[in-house]
Protein backbone atom coordinates (compact mmCIF):
# COMPACT_ATOMS: atom_id res chain seq x y z
CA UNK A 1 0.00 0.00 0.00
CA UNK A 2 1.02 3.58 -0.45
CA UNK A 3 1.14 5.88 2.51
CA UNK A 4 0.23 9.48 1.93
CA UNK A 5 2.92 11.53 3.55
CA UNK A 6 1.74 14.66 5.31
CA UNK A 7 4.50 16.90 6.36
CA UNK A 8 2.88 19.42 8.61
CA UNK A 9 -0.61 20.78 8.81
CA UNK A 10 -3.42 18.33 9.23
CA UNK A 11 -2.94 15.43 11.54
CA UNK A 12 -5.61 12.78 11.22
CA UNK A 13 -8.23 12.19 13.88
CA UNK A 14 -7.22 9.97 16.76
CA UNK A 15 -7.63 6.39 15.67
CA UNK A 16 -10.32 3.98 16.72
CA UNK A 17 -9.32 0.90 18.72
CA UNK A 18 -6.41 -0.65 16.91
CA UNK A 19 -5.81 -3.77 18.96
CA UNK A 20 -7.72 -6.21 21.12
CA UNK A 21 -7.40 -6.13 24.90
CA UNK A 22 -7.63 -9.82 25.85
CA UNK A 23 -7.28 -11.39 29.28
CA UNK A 24 -4.06 -13.35 29.60
CA UNK A 25 -4.12 -17.01 28.64
CA UNK A 26 -2.61 -19.56 31.02
CA UNK A 27 0.37 -20.20 28.82
CA UNK A 28 2.36 -18.70 25.96
CA UNK A 29 5.30 -19.68 23.80
CA UNK A 30 6.87 -16.29 24.46
CA UNK A 31 6.09 -13.57 27.00
CA UNK A 32 7.53 -10.15 26.30
CA UNK A 33 7.68 -7.89 29.36
CA UNK A 34 7.08 -4.28 28.44
CA UNK A 35 4.80 -2.84 25.74
CA UNK A 36 7.10 -0.03 24.73
CA UNK A 37 8.56 0.29 21.28
CA UNK A 38 11.14 -2.45 21.64
CA UNK A 39 8.72 -4.91 23.24
CA UNK A 40 6.02 -4.32 20.62
CA UNK A 41 8.51 -4.51 17.76
CA UNK A 42 9.90 -7.75 19.21
CA UNK A 43 6.42 -9.28 19.38
CA UNK A 44 5.62 -8.13 15.85
CA UNK A 45 8.80 -9.61 14.35
CA UNK A 46 8.37 -12.86 16.32
CA UNK A 47 4.96 -13.24 14.67
CA UNK A 48 5.85 -11.86 11.25
CA UNK A 49 9.31 -13.33 10.65
CA UNK A 50 9.13 -16.55 12.64
CA UNK A 51 5.42 -17.44 12.76
CA UNK A 52 5.53 -17.40 16.58
CA UNK A 53 2.12 -15.95 17.34
CA UNK A 54 1.33 -17.48 20.73
CA UNK A 55 2.91 -14.42 22.29
CA UNK A 56 1.84 -12.05 25.07
CA UNK A 57 3.21 -8.59 25.66
CA UNK A 58 2.69 -7.68 29.34
CA UNK A 59 2.59 -4.02 30.26
CA UNK A 60 2.25 -2.81 33.84
CA UNK A 61 0.96 0.60 32.77
CA UNK A 62 -0.54 1.47 29.42
CA UNK A 63 0.87 0.73 26.00
CA UNK A 64 3.80 3.01 25.07
CA UNK A 65 3.33 5.00 28.28
CA UNK A 66 6.96 4.77 29.28
CA UNK A 67 9.99 5.97 27.36
CA UNK A 68 8.30 5.21 24.03
CA UNK A 69 5.98 8.15 24.65
CA UNK A 70 8.62 10.35 26.26
CA UNK A 71 11.58 10.46 23.87
CA UNK A 72 12.50 13.19 21.37
CA UNK A 73 11.90 10.87 18.37
CA UNK A 74 15.29 11.33 16.71
CA UNK A 75 16.35 8.68 14.22
CA UNK A 76 19.89 8.26 12.87
CA UNK A 77 22.53 5.57 12.44
CA UNK A 78 25.78 7.58 12.33
CA UNK A 79 27.38 6.02 15.39
CA UNK A 80 31.11 5.59 15.81
CA UNK A 81 31.80 1.90 16.34
CA UNK A 82 31.21 -1.00 13.94
CA UNK A 83 28.93 -2.79 16.40
CA UNK A 84 26.69 0.27 16.65
CA UNK A 85 26.77 0.86 12.90
CA UNK A 86 25.48 -2.69 12.50
CA UNK A 87 22.36 -2.52 14.61
CA UNK A 88 21.48 1.17 14.17
CA UNK A 89 21.89 1.03 10.39
CA UNK A 90 19.77 -2.12 10.21
CA UNK A 91 17.23 -0.18 12.21
CA UNK A 92 17.32 2.81 9.87
CA UNK A 93 16.85 0.53 6.87
CA UNK A 94 13.79 -0.99 8.54
CA UNK A 95 12.45 2.50 9.32
CA UNK A 96 12.67 3.30 5.62
CA UNK A 97 10.04 0.69 4.75
CA UNK A 98 8.19 0.44 8.04
CA UNK A 99 4.99 2.38 7.35
CA UNK A 100 4.42 0.36 4.19
CA UNK A 101 5.27 -2.90 5.94
CA UNK A 102 2.92 -2.54 8.89
CA UNK A 103 0.35 -0.54 6.93
CA UNK A 104 0.21 2.31 9.38
CA UNK A 105 1.32 5.89 9.12
CA UNK A 106 4.12 6.88 11.50
CA UNK A 107 5.11 10.29 10.13
CA UNK A 108 8.61 9.00 9.49
CA UNK A 109 10.32 12.02 8.05
CA UNK A 110 13.91 11.90 6.76
CA UNK A 111 14.65 15.56 7.31
CA UNK A 112 18.31 14.96 8.17
CA UNK A 113 20.27 15.05 11.41
CA UNK A 114 23.08 17.54 11.86
CA UNK A 115 25.70 17.37 14.62
CA UNK A 116 27.67 20.55 15.17
CA UNK A 117 31.34 20.91 16.12
CA UNK A 118 32.43 23.93 18.17
CA UNK A 119 36.10 23.53 19.03
CA UNK A 120 39.19 21.98 17.48
CA UNK A 121 38.92 18.82 19.55
CA UNK A 122 35.19 18.67 18.87
CA UNK A 123 35.92 19.08 15.16
CA UNK A 124 38.42 16.24 15.20
CA UNK A 125 36.13 13.87 17.02
CA UNK A 126 33.21 14.68 14.67
CA UNK A 127 35.47 14.17 11.66
CA UNK A 128 36.60 10.87 13.10
CA UNK A 129 32.96 9.94 13.39
CA UNK A 130 32.33 11.09 9.82
CA UNK A 131 35.16 8.91 8.47
CA UNK A 132 34.09 5.96 10.61
CA UNK A 133 30.63 6.25 9.06
CA UNK A 134 32.14 6.33 5.57
CA UNK A 135 34.08 3.14 6.30
CA UNK A 136 30.85 1.50 7.44
CA UNK A 137 28.93 2.64 4.32
CA UNK A 138 26.68 4.88 6.37
CA UNK A 139 25.65 8.03 4.56
CA UNK A 140 27.30 11.01 6.14
CA UNK A 141 28.35 14.41 4.88
CA UNK A 142 30.74 16.97 6.25
CA UNK A 143 29.32 20.48 6.29
CA UNK A 144 31.13 23.80 6.49
CA UNK A 145 29.53 26.52 8.64
CA UNK A 146 28.11 28.11 5.47
CA UNK A 147 26.54 24.80 4.47
CA UNK A 148 25.12 24.47 7.97
CA UNK A 149 23.54 27.90 7.55
CA UNK A 150 22.08 26.92 4.20
CA UNK A 151 20.29 23.90 5.67
CA UNK A 152 19.36 25.60 8.96
CA UNK A 153 19.27 29.39 8.54
CA UNK A 154 18.44 30.01 12.20
CA UNK A 155 21.78 28.69 13.46
CA UNK A 156 24.08 31.46 14.58
CA UNK A 157 27.37 30.83 12.73
CA UNK A 158 29.11 34.04 13.74
CA UNK A 159 32.71 33.35 14.81
CA UNK A 160 32.27 35.82 17.67
CA UNK A 161 30.11 33.67 19.91
CA UNK A 162 30.99 31.50 22.84
CA UNK A 163 30.45 28.30 20.84
CA UNK A 164 31.25 29.09 17.19
CA UNK A 165 30.11 26.53 14.61
CA UNK A 166 33.24 25.13 12.98
CA UNK A 167 31.56 22.40 10.98
CA UNK A 168 29.06 19.59 11.25
CA UNK A 169 28.31 16.04 10.29
CA UNK A 170 25.03 15.53 8.49
CA UNK A 171 23.11 12.33 7.94
CA UNK A 172 20.44 13.11 5.37
CA UNK A 173 18.64 9.79 5.92
CA UNK A 174 18.16 10.59 9.60
CA UNK A 175 15.08 12.34 10.89
CA UNK A 176 12.10 11.91 13.18
CA UNK A 177 8.85 9.95 13.48
CA UNK A 178 5.81 10.29 15.70
CA UNK A 179 6.66 7.93 18.52
CA UNK A 180 3.15 7.10 19.67
CA UNK A 181 2.11 6.31 16.10
CA UNK A 182 5.10 4.00 15.78
CA UNK A 183 3.99 2.12 18.89
CA UNK A 184 0.39 1.97 17.68
CA UNK A 185 1.51 0.73 14.27
CA UNK A 186 3.53 -2.10 15.76
CA UNK A 187 0.77 -2.86 18.28
CA UNK A 188 -1.92 -3.07 15.60
CA UNK A 189 0.23 -5.21 13.32
CA UNK A 190 1.23 -7.54 16.18
CA UNK A 191 -2.37 -7.82 17.42
CA UNK A 192 -3.60 -8.56 13.88
CA UNK A 193 -1.09 -11.43 13.72
CA UNK A 194 -2.48 -12.91 16.97
CA UNK A 195 -0.25 -11.43 19.66
CA UNK A 196 -2.00 -10.69 22.98
CA UNK A 197 -1.29 -7.17 24.24
CA UNK A 198 -2.13 -7.10 27.94
CA UNK A 199 -2.07 -3.72 29.66
CA UNK A 200 -2.26 -3.17 33.41
CA UNK A 201 -0.43 -6.46 33.93
CA UNK A 202 2.55 -6.08 36.21
CA UNK A 203 5.14 -8.81 36.56
CA UNK A 204 5.75 -9.49 40.26
CA UNK A 205 8.14 -12.41 39.94
CA UNK A 206 10.05 -14.13 37.18
CA UNK A 207 9.75 -17.83 37.91
CA UNK A 208 12.88 -19.88 37.38
CA UNK A 209 13.16 -23.66 37.87
CA UNK A 210 16.44 -25.54 37.48
CA UNK A 211 18.04 -22.56 35.84
CA UNK A 212 15.30 -22.20 33.23
CA UNK A 213 12.49 -19.66 33.14
CA UNK A 214 9.00 -21.17 33.42
CA UNK A 215 6.77 -18.13 33.51
CA UNK A 216 5.88 -15.00 35.44
CA UNK A 217 3.74 -14.17 38.44
CA UNK A 218 1.64 -11.11 37.71
CA UNK A 219 -1.13 -9.09 39.33
CA UNK A 220 -3.41 -11.12 37.02
CA UNK A 221 -2.04 -14.46 38.22
CA UNK A 222 0.65 -16.86 37.07
CA UNK A 223 1.28 -17.08 33.33
CA UNK A 224 3.54 -19.84 32.12
CA UNK A 225 5.84 -19.44 29.16
CA UNK A 226 8.48 -21.36 27.30
CA UNK A 227 10.48 -18.17 26.80
CA UNK A 228 10.43 -14.76 28.50
CA UNK A 229 11.93 -11.62 26.99
CA UNK A 230 12.54 -8.49 29.03
CA UNK A 231 12.11 -5.14 27.28
CA UNK A 232 11.52 -3.00 30.33
CA UNK A 233 14.08 -0.19 29.98
CA UNK A 234 14.47 1.56 33.35
CA UNK A 235 12.95 -1.37 35.24
CA UNK A 236 15.35 -3.99 33.87
CA UNK A 237 17.33 -4.10 37.13
CA UNK A 238 14.15 -4.81 39.07
CA UNK A 239 13.16 -7.67 36.74
CA UNK A 240 16.67 -9.15 36.66
CA UNK A 241 16.74 -9.23 40.43
CA UNK A 242 13.45 -11.16 40.37
CA UNK A 243 15.13 -13.69 38.10
CA UNK A 244 18.18 -13.92 40.36
CA UNK A 245 20.95 -12.13 38.47
CA UNK A 246 22.42 -8.64 38.33
CA UNK A 247 22.86 -6.26 35.42
CA UNK A 248 25.32 -3.34 35.27
CA UNK A 249 22.62 -0.76 34.73
CA UNK A 250 21.70 2.45 36.53
CA UNK A 251 18.24 4.00 36.14
CA UNK A 252 18.25 7.77 35.75
CA UNK A 253 15.66 10.40 34.89
CA UNK A 254 15.96 11.90 31.42
CA UNK A 255 13.86 14.96 30.76
CA UNK A 256 12.56 16.53 27.59
CA UNK A 257 10.44 19.53 26.77
CA UNK A 258 8.35 21.21 24.10
CA UNK A 259 7.67 24.83 23.33
CA UNK A 260 4.35 26.28 22.29
CA UNK A 261 3.42 25.86 18.63
CA UNK A 262 5.49 28.09 16.39
CA UNK A 263 5.79 28.81 12.69
CA UNK A 264 8.16 26.41 11.01
CA UNK A 265 11.72 27.65 11.29
CA UNK A 266 13.67 24.42 11.51
CA UNK A 267 13.20 21.52 9.12
CA UNK A 268 16.11 19.37 10.18
CA UNK A 269 17.33 17.93 13.50
CA UNK A 270 20.25 19.73 15.13
CA UNK A 271 22.47 18.28 17.81
CA UNK A 272 25.41 19.79 19.60
CA UNK A 273 27.44 17.96 22.19
CA UNK A 274 29.51 20.92 23.38
CA UNK A 275 26.52 23.20 23.93
CA UNK A 276 24.30 20.28 24.90
CA UNK A 277 21.35 20.77 22.59
CA UNK A 278 19.29 18.50 20.49
CA UNK A 279 16.30 20.07 18.88
CA UNK A 280 13.79 19.46 16.14
CA UNK A 281 10.50 21.07 15.28
CA UNK A 282 7.59 18.65 15.33
CA UNK A 283 4.94 18.46 12.65
CA UNK A 284 2.53 20.74 14.49
CA UNK A 285 5.25 23.33 15.10
CA UNK A 286 6.45 22.80 18.66
CA UNK A 287 10.17 22.76 19.30
CA UNK A 288 11.14 19.44 20.84
CA UNK A 289 14.27 19.39 22.96
CA UNK A 290 15.97 16.86 25.14
CA UNK A 291 17.74 17.78 28.34
CA UNK A 292 20.52 15.88 30.04
CA UNK A 293 19.97 13.12 32.56
CA UNK A 294 19.57 14.07 36.18
CA UNK A 295 22.60 13.08 38.22
CA UNK A 296 21.03 10.49 40.49
CA UNK A 297 19.33 7.11 40.30
CA UNK A 298 15.57 7.36 40.21
CA UNK A 299 12.39 5.55 39.27
CA UNK A 300 10.20 8.64 39.66
CA UNK A 301 9.81 9.69 35.98
CA UNK A 302 10.60 13.27 36.86
CA UNK A 303 13.69 15.37 37.36
CA UNK A 304 14.88 18.75 38.58
CA UNK A 305 13.85 21.95 36.86
CA UNK A 306 17.40 23.28 36.95
CA UNK A 307 18.22 20.65 34.34
CA UNK A 308 15.53 22.15 32.08
CA UNK A 309 16.82 25.68 32.72
CA UNK A 310 20.33 24.58 31.81
CA UNK A 311 19.02 23.01 28.61
CA UNK A 312 17.13 26.16 27.59
CA UNK A 313 20.13 28.37 28.30
CA UNK A 314 22.20 26.12 26.05
CA UNK A 315 19.61 26.25 23.28
CA UNK A 316 19.56 30.06 23.31
CA UNK A 317 23.31 30.08 22.88
CA UNK A 318 22.90 28.50 19.47
CA UNK A 319 19.46 29.79 18.54
CA UNK A 320 18.94 33.34 19.80
CA UNK A 321 15.65 33.30 17.87
CA UNK A 322 14.17 30.93 20.50
CA UNK A 323 14.45 33.51 23.27
CA UNK A 324 10.79 34.53 22.99
CA UNK A 325 9.43 30.99 22.76
CA UNK A 326 7.42 29.79 25.73
CA UNK A 327 8.06 26.50 27.37
CA UNK A 328 4.85 24.51 27.16
CA UNK A 329 5.54 21.21 28.86
CA UNK A 330 8.36 19.17 30.38
CA UNK A 331 8.40 15.53 31.36
CA UNK A 332 10.78 12.78 32.38
CA UNK A 333 11.36 9.13 31.67
CA UNK A 334 13.56 6.58 33.39
CA UNK A 335 16.44 5.43 31.22
CA UNK A 336 18.68 2.45 31.89
CA UNK A 337 22.29 3.36 31.36
CA UNK A 338 25.10 0.85 30.93
CA UNK A 339 28.72 1.67 31.80
CA UNK A 340 29.68 2.05 28.11
CA UNK A 341 26.43 3.79 27.05
CA UNK A 342 25.61 0.87 24.75
CA UNK A 343 22.71 -1.56 25.07
CA UNK A 344 22.78 -4.96 26.75
CA UNK A 345 21.11 -7.54 24.54
CA UNK A 346 20.77 -11.25 24.18
CA UNK A 347 20.85 -14.25 26.48
CA UNK A 348 20.99 -14.14 30.28
CA UNK A 349 22.33 -16.50 32.96
CA UNK A 350 18.77 -17.93 33.08
CA UNK A 351 17.92 -20.27 30.21
CA UNK A 352 15.17 -19.02 27.86
CA UNK A 353 15.17 -15.61 29.53
CA UNK A 354 16.33 -12.82 27.21
CA UNK A 355 17.37 -9.26 27.87
CA UNK A 356 16.86 -6.12 25.78
CA UNK A 357 18.03 -3.16 27.82
CA UNK A 358 20.57 -0.44 28.31
CA UNK A 359 19.39 1.70 25.42
CA UNK A 360 19.79 4.57 27.82
CA UNK A 361 19.24 7.97 26.30
CA UNK A 362 18.89 6.84 22.68
CA UNK A 363 16.64 3.82 22.23
CA UNK A 364 13.85 5.18 20.07
CA UNK A 365 15.83 5.15 16.82
CA UNK A 366 16.73 1.53 17.42
CA UNK A 367 13.13 0.35 17.85
CA UNK A 368 12.79 -1.58 14.56
CA UNK A 369 16.33 -2.97 14.46
CA UNK A 370 16.29 -3.95 18.11
CA UNK A 371 12.94 -5.73 17.81
CA UNK A 372 14.02 -7.42 14.59
CA UNK A 373 17.32 -8.76 15.92
CA UNK A 374 15.89 -9.57 19.37
CA UNK A 375 13.04 -11.61 17.85
CA UNK A 376 15.62 -13.59 15.88
CA UNK A 377 17.63 -14.11 19.07
CA UNK A 378 14.56 -15.38 20.94
CA UNK A 379 13.33 -17.59 18.10
CA UNK A 380 16.70 -19.34 17.74
CA UNK A 381 17.80 -19.14 21.39
CA UNK A 382 21.17 -17.67 20.38
CA UNK A 383 22.29 -14.10 19.84
CA UNK A 384 21.79 -12.75 16.32
CA UNK A 385 25.03 -11.49 14.76
CA UNK A 386 23.96 -7.87 15.32
CA UNK A 387 23.20 -8.68 18.97
CA UNK A 388 26.36 -10.70 19.76
CA UNK A 389 28.63 -7.76 20.67
CA UNK A 390 26.06 -6.52 23.21
CA UNK A 391 26.23 -9.50 25.55
CA UNK A 392 26.30 -9.13 29.32
CA UNK A 393 29.63 -10.91 29.19
CA UNK A 394 31.39 -7.94 27.58
CA UNK A 395 31.82 -6.39 31.02
CA UNK A 396 33.90 -9.41 31.99
CA UNK A 397 35.92 -9.70 28.77
CA UNK A 398 36.40 -5.94 28.47
CA UNK A 399 34.96 -5.69 24.95
CA UNK A 400 33.09 -2.49 25.74
CA UNK A 401 31.38 -0.46 23.03
CA UNK A 402 32.05 3.06 24.17
CA UNK A 403 29.39 5.30 22.67
CA UNK A 404 29.42 8.04 25.30
CA UNK A 405 30.67 10.53 22.72
CA UNK A 406 28.59 9.30 19.85
CA UNK A 407 25.38 9.74 21.83
CA UNK A 408 25.62 13.20 20.27
CA UNK A 409 25.37 15.01 23.55
CA UNK A 410 26.88 14.20 26.91
CA UNK A 411 24.41 12.72 29.35
CA UNK B 1 15.56 20.47 42.73
CA UNK B 2 16.54 18.30 45.66
CA UNK B 3 17.39 19.81 49.04
CA UNK B 4 20.30 17.74 50.27
CA UNK B 5 21.39 17.59 53.87
CA UNK B 6 25.19 17.83 53.97
CA UNK B 7 26.27 16.39 57.36
CA UNK B 8 28.79 19.24 57.71
CA UNK B 9 26.94 22.24 56.25
CA UNK B 10 23.28 21.42 56.58
CA UNK B 11 20.61 21.52 53.85
CA UNK B 12 21.75 22.97 50.52
CA UNK B 13 20.45 23.02 46.93
CA UNK B 14 21.20 20.02 44.75
CA UNK B 15 23.20 22.20 42.32
CA UNK B 16 25.91 22.55 44.99
CA UNK B 17 26.59 18.81 44.87
CA UNK B 18 27.86 16.09 42.61
CA UNK B 19 26.54 12.57 42.69
CA UNK B 20 28.81 9.67 43.61
CA UNK B 21 26.51 6.66 43.06
CA UNK B 22 26.26 3.71 45.47
CA UNK B 23 27.93 4.06 48.87
CA UNK B 24 30.08 1.49 50.66
CA UNK B 25 31.90 0.08 47.63
CA UNK B 26 35.35 -0.71 48.97
CA UNK B 27 38.45 -1.32 46.89
CA UNK B 28 39.12 -5.07 46.75
CA UNK B 29 41.29 -6.16 49.65
CA UNK B 30 43.31 -8.58 47.56
CA UNK B 31 43.09 -7.25 44.01
CA UNK B 32 45.66 -9.77 42.79
CA UNK B 33 43.30 -12.62 43.66
CA UNK B 34 40.30 -11.30 41.75
CA UNK B 35 38.96 -13.17 38.72
CA UNK B 36 37.84 -11.21 35.65
CA UNK B 37 34.26 -11.75 36.75
CA UNK B 38 34.99 -10.30 40.18
CA UNK B 39 36.75 -7.31 38.62
CA UNK B 40 33.69 -6.74 36.41
CA UNK B 41 31.53 -6.81 39.55
CA UNK B 42 33.74 -4.29 41.28
CA UNK B 43 34.10 -1.90 38.34
CA UNK B 44 30.79 -2.09 36.51
CA UNK B 45 28.09 -3.52 38.79
CA UNK B 46 26.24 -1.26 41.19
CA UNK B 47 22.92 -1.83 42.87
CA UNK B 48 20.00 -0.03 41.27
CA UNK B 49 17.16 -0.50 43.75
CA UNK B 50 13.65 0.81 43.39
CA UNK B 51 13.28 2.23 46.91
CA UNK B 52 15.80 3.15 49.59
CA UNK B 53 19.37 3.54 48.37
CA UNK B 54 22.51 4.44 50.35
CA UNK B 55 24.48 6.72 48.06
CA UNK B 56 27.42 9.13 48.02
CA UNK B 57 27.36 12.83 47.25
CA UNK B 58 30.13 15.42 47.36
CA UNK B 59 29.39 19.00 48.39
CA UNK B 60 31.68 20.34 45.71
CA UNK B 61 30.82 24.05 45.86
CA UNK B 62 30.48 23.99 49.65
CA UNK B 63 32.78 22.15 52.06
CA UNK B 64 34.01 19.90 49.20
CA UNK B 65 33.64 16.85 51.37
CA UNK B 66 32.12 13.45 50.55
CA UNK B 67 29.32 11.96 52.59
CA UNK B 68 26.67 9.24 52.45
CA UNK B 69 22.92 9.57 52.55
CA UNK B 70 19.83 7.41 52.34
CA UNK B 71 17.46 8.42 49.54
CA UNK B 72 14.33 6.80 48.18
CA UNK B 73 14.56 6.41 44.39
CA UNK B 74 10.79 6.21 44.01
CA UNK B 75 9.80 9.55 45.54
CA UNK B 76 13.17 11.25 46.19
CA UNK B 77 12.54 11.38 49.93
CA UNK B 78 15.75 11.59 51.97
CA UNK B 79 16.67 9.57 55.01
CA UNK B 80 19.59 10.36 57.30
CA UNK B 81 22.90 11.58 55.91
CA UNK B 82 26.12 10.46 57.58
CA UNK B 83 29.83 11.07 57.36
CA UNK B 84 32.20 8.55 55.77
CA UNK B 85 33.64 5.88 58.07
CA UNK B 86 30.80 6.34 60.55
CA UNK B 87 28.19 3.72 61.32
CA UNK B 88 25.53 3.48 58.66
CA UNK B 89 22.08 4.40 60.03
CA UNK B 90 19.55 1.67 59.42
CA UNK B 91 17.46 1.77 56.27
CA UNK B 92 14.50 4.12 56.74
CA UNK B 93 11.09 2.47 56.81
Average pLDDT by stretches of 10, chain B with 93 residues: 97 98 96 97 97 98 98 97 96 93
Check whether A406 has a pLDDT greater than 60.
no
Mean pLDDT of A207-215: 98
What pLDDT is attached to residue A317? 86
What pLDDT is attached to residue A161? 87
Contact call for A304 and B75, based on CB within 8 A? no
pTM as predicted: 0.95
Mean pLDDT of A237-249: 98
Q: Which residues of B touch A296 (CB under 8 A)?
A: 2, 19, 55, 71, 73
What pLDDT is attached to residue A9? 57
Check whether A15 has a pLDDT greater than 80.
no
Distances (CA, A) of A291 to A76, A250, A259, A359, A401: 18, 18, 13, 16, 23
Check whether A407 has a pLDDT greater than 70.
no
- A134 touching chain B per CB within 8 A: no
Question: Which has more pLDDT, A274 or A370?
Answer: A370
Mean pLDDT of A327-334: 96
**Per-residue b or e along B16-41, where b marks 16 or more CB atoms closer than 10 Å to that residue's CB:** bbeebbbbeeeeeeeeeeeeeeeebb
Put simply, the chain A residues between 226 and 285 with a CB less than 8 A from any chain B CB are: 235, 237-238, 246-251
What pLDDT is attached to residue A300? 96
DSSP single-letter state for residue A54? -
Nearest to A304 among B1, B44, B45 (CB): B1
Reported as a pLDDT band with limits 50, 70 and 90, residue A12 is low
Q: Please give the Cα distance from A12 to A178 (Å, whole number).
A: 13
What pLDDT is attached to residue A57? 98
Check whether A1 has a pLDDT greater than 50.
no
The residue of chain A with its CA nearest to that of B34 is A396
Terminal CA-CA length for chain B: 23
**Segment A66-100, tens digit of pLDDT:** 999 999 999 999 999 999 999 999 999 999 999 99
What pLDDT is attached to residue A112? 97
Q: In the beta sheet, which residues pair with residue A335?
A: A252
| Minimal C-alpha gap between A325 and chain B (Å) | 23
Q: Please give the Cα distance from B51 to A236 (Å, whole number).
A: 15
Nearest to B73 among A295, A297, A304 (CB): A297
The residue of chain B with its CA nearest to that of A400 is B44
Mean pLDDT of A390-399: 97
Check whether A217 has a pLDDT greater than 50.
yes
- A298 touching chain B per CB within 8 A: yes
- A133 touching chain B per CB within 8 A: no
Chain B interface test: which of A234, A241, A293, A299 (most B C-beta within 10 Å): A299
Check whether A52 has a pLDDT greater than 90.
yes
Q: Please give the Cα distance from A229 to A373 (Å, whole number).
A: 13
The residue of chain B with its CA nearest to that of A242 is B49
Dihedral sign computed on CA atoms, order A200, A205, A209, A210: positive
What pLDDT is attached to residue A73? 97
Interface residues of chain B, partner chain A, Cβ below 8 Å: 1-2, 14-15, 18-19, 21, 36-37, 39-40, 43-46, 48-50, 53, 55, 71, 73-76
Q: In the beta sheet, which residues pair with residue A203?
A: A218
**Segment A280-324, tens digit of pLDDT:** 999 899 999 999 899 999 999 999 999 999 999 989 988 989 999
Reported as a pLDDT band with limits 50, 70 and 90, residue A381 is very high
| Minimal C-alpha gap between A193 and chain B (Å) | 35
- A300 touching chain B per CB within 8 A: yes
Mean pLDDT of chain A: 94
**B52, exposed or middle or buried, with CB in 10 Å at 0-12, 13-18, 19+?**
middle
Q: Please give the Cα distance from A88 to A149 (Å, whole number).
A: 28
**Segment A132-146, tens digit of pLDDT:** 999 999 999 999 999
DSSP-derived 3-state class of residue A66? coil
Amino acid sequence: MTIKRRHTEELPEHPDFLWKNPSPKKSYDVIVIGAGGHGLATAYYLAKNFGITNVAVLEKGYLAGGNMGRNTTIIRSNYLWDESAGIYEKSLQLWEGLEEEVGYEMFFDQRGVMTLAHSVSDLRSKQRNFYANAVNDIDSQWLTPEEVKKIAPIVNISPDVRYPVLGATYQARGGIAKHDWVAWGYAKAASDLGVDLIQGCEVKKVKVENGKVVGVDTNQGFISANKVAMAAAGHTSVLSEMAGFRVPLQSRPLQALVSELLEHVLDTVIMSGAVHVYVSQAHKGELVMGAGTDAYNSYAQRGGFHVIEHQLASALELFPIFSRAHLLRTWGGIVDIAPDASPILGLTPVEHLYINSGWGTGGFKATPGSGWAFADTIAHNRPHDLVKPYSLNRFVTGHLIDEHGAAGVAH
Amino acid sequence: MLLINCPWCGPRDETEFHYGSEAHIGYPEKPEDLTDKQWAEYIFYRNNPKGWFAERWVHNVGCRRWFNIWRNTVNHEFGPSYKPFTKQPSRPQ
